[in-house]
Structure 1
Amino acid sequence: MKILRNKAYARAGFLGNPSDGYHGKTISFIVQNFSAEVVLYEWDSVEIVLAEQDRARFRSVRDLANDVKLHGYYGGIRLVKATIKRFVEYCRERDIELHDQNFSIRYSSDIPRQVGLAGSSSIIVATLRCLMEFYDVKIPLQAQPTFVLTVEQEELGISAGLQDRVIQVYEGLVYMDFNQSAENLSDGFKTYKYEHLNPDQLPNIYVAYHDGLSEPTEVYHNDIRGRVLRGEQIVVDAMNRFAEIAEEGREALVTIDFDLLSDLINENFDLRQSISKLPNWQVEMIQVARACGVSAKFAGSGGAIVGTYQNEKMLEKLRDRMASIGVKTILPKIKSS
């Protein structure tokens, strides 16, 4: 029996987020320290196996309430089901004949949940890779991020931008230009300009996350989207500046200007704070990190931060101070060894 295994990794938004959902520009990198893995093998029926994260049994009602508070109502099963449905429709629309062999599919993930490291989209990307391999269907690389986004937006009603899906499909370190002038079509899907950058040109990078507190991505994005659609000038101007920050950050990476890069990282968060009321525990992560001398911004919707540090002494101080507030600090693995 042939067993297919595919992974998709966590990611960190380095600069420009959250402008990706508003025709902005971003830089992101993959975090290979964490991943979602999907396993698929031939079976006599189509079976989606419950994962550990899809809890249906609890020690008490208080345990249930705490789990919902931390992780929301939704597990990964809906992501797998929605991806399969969309994949079948994709093939039907293009007259691609699928063989009749059924399969069992399961997922597992060690990506910290709902802290802004793109755990949900990683399950969809890994599922899509298994389906393409099982049925020998090749969706163009550039079209895959938009395919994944349609699964989330149109099938599940999740508010999101393309950034996470692009970096999880392309991997490494990627600069993304979502301006309408960069818009194109690939296999019927809207695409933009995606450019691989050299991870060797990055300075010392850390990622820190709080695994005891979390907040669904929708809590942040839905509020911002409504304000943009209403034309609230301060938010519209902020989105334009986020895009400029990413563009300037790309140049700073190319010219190895780490001081400018650090300033841009800090500005990215300060700008975000200026247009949002952020939870105190998320702001505290930034404040504690910056007190150690490092730069710091959100890696996604909140709950995880990313930044640069100068030396090992600064890193050790950061680890100690972050641990004192329940936050773990890691050095992201961006390149495959």
Structure 2
Amino acid sequence: MLIETRAYARAGLFGNPSDGFYGKTIAISVRNFGASVTLYQSPELTIEAQPQDTNIFRSLHHLRDAVSTLGYHGGVPLLKAAIKKFAEYCEQEQIRLPNQNFSIRYSTSIPRQVGLSGSSAIIVATFRALMQFYSVEIPQPILPNLVLATETDELGITAGLQDRVIQCYEGCVYMDFDRETMARQGYGQYEPIDSQLLPKLYIAYNTDLGKQSGRVHNDIRSRWLKGEPLVVDTMAAIANVAREGRDALQRQDTKLLNELVNRNFDLRAQIYSISDRNRSLIETARVCGASASFTGSGGSIIGLYRDDAMLNRLFVELRKINARVIKPYVV
């Protein structure tokens, strides 16, 4: 039995990054890029390393570039962590798993380190493969929690629920992470939105991020926990962008949708440090007449464009700063 599963890249459209602060977001799955997992029964449990997991390099410079784009460990730790968390969930739920082993491998086309959630896609695909192999059903609202716990508990990755929710639900989803709701049921309210309501969207992402040096540290969480008014009020305003965005999508109010995309980034920039490289993505897109905000933590942007002429201009101008433009495929 050969099992093949897949999970897709994602882009935050509105409300990002308020998901980690009991806020609201709207996100889309981006089927242009995906991570796939292949699993089959075998005598021993084997995780098959991929070329990006190699410890053999052509030169010192090759190692430097590989670590810059792929991290120190590649994707194998993601598979190990997901398998461990799956086993713990089954034990906690008193689900007896049959005594059968498997071999597992992954592949991914999601650009790394540009805010399109490549790591969590690998984990989601792994959970789907394990669920199918062992005939285990994990409730859809619970699965994003397990994916998030895999990253935070096992790998020490700071993250929020938005990415995992959209990768588990797919399509376009409005998410409300209200504190009381989260405390009561353990997850937020997740409302699918008809993707036919989406306006003309583009995504642009850096193609040379691995050659960037240095990262700006933003200590927003501790400031939010301390109740700093600027951070608390700004994060609430970012969450409200998602609420307004849901209503604007229903009304097909393109003018307001453009304004909300821009507002999302402008609010974020009030409390987060934005690198020159990331700011140039935003400014270049806006000069072309498009709206622009981050899809995630930085490295890629999303926004609305008016027509093919504007889209072509985005292609040309963003290419000049080493960014690639795509039209997201959303189902």
Question: Is residue 2:191 matched to residue 1:192?
Answer: no
Cα distance change of structure 1 residues 221 and 277 upon mapping to structure 2, 3 Å threshold: closer
Q: Is the 8 A contact 1:114 1:215 kept in 2?
A: no
1:301 corresponds to 2:297: yes
Bigger CA drift: 275-284 or 301-310? 275-284
Instruction: In structure 2, give the amino acid aligned to 1:144.
Output: L
Q: 2:259 & 2:294 partners in 1: Cα distance?
A: 14
1:321 equivalent in alignment to 2:320:
no
Instruction: Give the paired residue count.
Output: 329
2:95 aligned with 1:96, yes or no? yes
Structure 1 segments of 4+ aligned residues over 3 angstroms from their partners: 219-222
Deviation of 1:67 (Å): 2.3
Q: Would you say 1:283 and 2:279 are equivalent positions? A: yes
Q: Deviations over 1:77-132 (max 9, x none)?
A: 11110111111111112221111111000000000001000001000000000000
Instruction: Mark the runs of 5 or more structure 2 residues left unpaired by the alignment.
Output: none
Q: One-letter code of the match for 1:182?
A: T
> Aligned pair in 2 of structure 1 residues 157, 215: CA closer, same or farther (>3 Å)?
farther
Does the 8 Å contact 1:184/1:192 carry over to 2?
no
The alignment status of 1:234 with 2:230, answered yes or no, reads yes
Q: Distance in 2 between matches of 1:106 and 1:280?
A: 37
Counterpart Cα distance in 1 of 2:210 and 2:200: 26
RMSD: 1.6
Q: Counterparts in 2 of 1:58-97, with a 5 A limit?
A: 58-97=57-96
Distance 1:167 1:116 in 2: 14
The verdict on how the C-alpha distance between 1:279 and 1:215 changes in structure 2, with shifts beyond 3 A counting, is farther
Query: CA offsets per residue over residues 260-313 of structure 1, 9 Å max, x none?
Result: 010010011111112122111110011000000000000001001000001000
Give the direction of change, closer, same or farther, for the CA distance of 1:73–1:239 in structure 2 (3 Å limit): same
Q: What is the distance in 1 between the residues matched to 2:20 and 2:55?
A: 34
**3-state SS, counterpart of residue 183 of structure 1:** helix
Residue 226 of structure 1: how far off its partner (Å) = 2.4
Q: Deviation of residue 215 (structure 1)? A: 10
1:238-277 aligned at under 5 Å gives the runs 238-277=234-273
Contact 2:4 2:39 in 1 (8 A): yes
Counterpart amino acid of residue 318 in structure 1? L
Cα deviation for residue 234 of structure 1 reads 1.3
1:49 aligns with 2:45: no
2:65 is matched by which residue type in structure 1? N
Query: Distance in 2 between the 1:32 and 1:120 partners?
Result: 15
Tell me, yes or no, if the aligned pair for 1:159 and 1:221 is still in contact at 8 Å.
Answer: no
Offset, 1:221: 7.9
Gapped runs of 5+ residues in structure 1? none
Match of 2:199 in 1: 203
Partners of 2:65 and 2:211 within 8 A in 1: no
Of the structure 1 ranges 227-236 and 37-46, higher mean CA displacement relative to structure 2 is found in: 227-236
CA contact under 8 A between 1:220 and 1:301: conserved in structure 2?
no
Report sequence identity in percent.
49
